[in-house]
Amino acid sequence: MAEDPQVLIAGGGIVGTSIAWALAERGVGPITVLDLDLAGVYASSELNAGGARATWWQPVNVETCRATLGFFAEHGDAFSFRPRGYLWLYSDGALWQQALAKRELQSGLGLDVEILEPRAVLERFPFLDRNTDELLGATYSARDGLVNPNAVRRWYRERAEALGVRFLNRHYINGVRTALASGSAGVLRTLRSLEVVEVPRGDPADESGALESLLTRHHWPASQVVEERSFPAELVVNALGAWSPIFSAKIGVHDVTEPVRRQIALVDVRVEDRPESLDLDTLGMVVDASGLYYHPEGPHVLAGYSTPGEPPGYDFAYDGREFFEAEVWPRLAHRSSAFERCGHVRGWAGLYAVTPDCSGIAGRVDGFTNLYEAHSFTGRGVMQSYGIARNMAALITDGAYDDIDLAPLTRERFGDRARWVVEELHI
């Protein structure tokens, strides 16, 4: 690397921001982070459910999440990290057998995952008092929990800015200039500059919908562009999450990522209707056998469900009470009489950046001398951020990973299905 590189990070979500901080910690600079929405109105890391777990089935996902959860625990008050556990219910025989088989791997990686029989589930969580006969069992991981994603991203950004990282809001990468370079690896391309347009700042909450239009249609009228600028690049990191395919297309790289809408509802369980067995102050994340997941959120319950067959696309429309009544309430009431009477408060939709094997993409982009990427973690960006950032920074500065080998996550794996990092324990 050059002594004083101009590092450009495309994407100021939690992954891009954490990488900026990790690079600055290593003395790299100057670093500029470019983003359209630094307020996070449409950021996937800001719209997620706030779960944080290391309980996965692929080693690289376990290790990056375990490192991140350790970091969350060190800063528990700052991040509102609550290690209240993850309870995962199973009724599908094949998945249950996989969960049992993966426990050895999880134990070998230092996870404390309990296997619970259906009777034990009811004894420990008495509010789950309906249809327990259809359950085959459950796993419970006490060290997992809940976190405030906004606080985590803010922490990364404040530390990065203190080290000189510059964050530019309302900046859209409109083009990329490249050049060919010959070397020992053959003819490679080098990113010379990013061509960026600055668009009007407008309302941070985007009540006019102008920002959402750009994020979903990828075009801003030339008459409304504030300024066009060229940013020379010594090194570029693509951390655009669900928007990574838009950037990749500008440099001729086929991106397998698909943006998929996910919806979350806030549910009101009235105090007078709550049984004593439903203690929201101690409850962590519950993942029902139906795929519904939920946890306490202030005085309410936050519940999400990934609708089967949801088409890919940039869509932030929340289906409102219809989603709650069709997908959320029936699944809550099916498992617990505590949710027999509950109401819809509000909800929202965000994007998962989904890969074919449901694991993230990280590493150097083959065919380029100065392009790296870290994105598409299929809902795990928050809980993998620290582990990914530290090891991406090590790869960029030292040419090798630090304590976690991210090599399984390079995009080249998609050329050989045998190398896929298939993660089935996602929601």
What domain range includes position 296? 86-142+259-354
Q: Do 13 and 35 sit in the same domain of this protein?
A: yes
Q: Do 265 and 130 sit in the same domain of this protein?
A: yes
Report pLDDT digits (tens) over 49-87.
Answer: 999 999 999 999 999 999 999 999 999 999 999 999 999
Q: Mean pLDDT in the chain?
A: 94
Burial class from Cβ neighbours inside 10 Å (0-12, 13-18, 19+) for residue 332 reads buried
pLDDT on residue 223: 79
- pLDDT of 210 higher than 60: yes
Quick check: is 426 in a domain? no
Domain of residue 11, CATH code: 3.50.50.60
3-class DSSP state for residue 379? coil
Is the Cα torsion angle 228, 229, 230, 233 positive or negative in sign?
negative
Q: Tell me how far apart the alpha carbons of residues 385 and 374 are, in angstroms, rounded to a whole number.
A: 10
Quick check: is 371 in a domain? yes
Q: Do 373 and 387 sit in the same domain of this protein?
A: yes
Quick check: is 290 in a domain? yes
Work out the number of other CB atoms within 10 angstroms of the CB of residue 93.
Answer: 9
Q: Tell me how far apart the alpha carbons of residues 8 and 231 are, in angstroms, rounded to a whole number.
A: 8
How many structural domains does the chain have?
2
Whole-structure pTM value:
0.95
pLDDT on residue 275: 72
Q: Do 342 and 394 sit in the same domain of this protein?
A: no
- Nearest to residue 79, comparing CAs of 44, 55, 52? 52
Burial class from Cβ neighbours inside 10 Å (0-12, 13-18, 19+) for residue 91 reads middle
Query: pLDDT-based confidence at 12, cuts 50/70/90?
Result: very high
Segment 309-315 shows an average pLDDT of: 96
Beta strands in 288-370 (DSSP E): 293-297, 300-305, 343-354, 361-364
Residues contacting 184, CB < 8 A, separation 6+: none
Residue where a domain terminates, one of 354, 377, 404: 354
Q: Tell me how far apart the alpha carbons of residues 20 and 181 are, in angstroms, rounded to a whole number.
A: 26
Q: Are 42 and 261 in contact (CB under 8 A)?
A: no
Q: Do 231 and 168 sit in the same domain of this protein?
A: yes
Quick check: is 62 in a domain? no
Q: Do 343 and 270 sit in the same domain of this protein?
A: yes
Q: Do 251 and 209 sit in the same domain of this protein?
A: yes
Report pLDDT digits (tens) over 347-405.
Answer: 999 999 999 999 999 999 999 999 999 999 999 999 999 999 999 999 999 999 999 99
Q: Tokens standing for 408?
A: 């399984």
Quick check: is 396 in a domain? yes
Report pLDDT digits (tens) over 100-119.
Answer: 999 999 999 999 999 999 99
- pLDDT of 276 higher than 80: no
pLDDT on residue 5: 57
Residue where a domain terminates, one of 333, 354, 375: 354
Quick check: is 425 in a domain? no
Query: pLDDT-based confidence at 3, cuts 50/70/90?
Result: very low
Segment 127-144 shows an average pLDDT of: 96
Which residues, in sequence order, are bridge partners of residue 151?
none
Task: Quote the percentage of the chain above a pLDDT of 90.
Answer: 86
Q: Do 326 and 178 sit in the same domain of this protein?
A: no
pLDDT on residue 79: 97
Domain of residue 317, CATH code: 3.30.9.10
Report pLDDT digits (tens) over 248-275.
Answer: 999 999 999 999 999 999 999 876 667 7
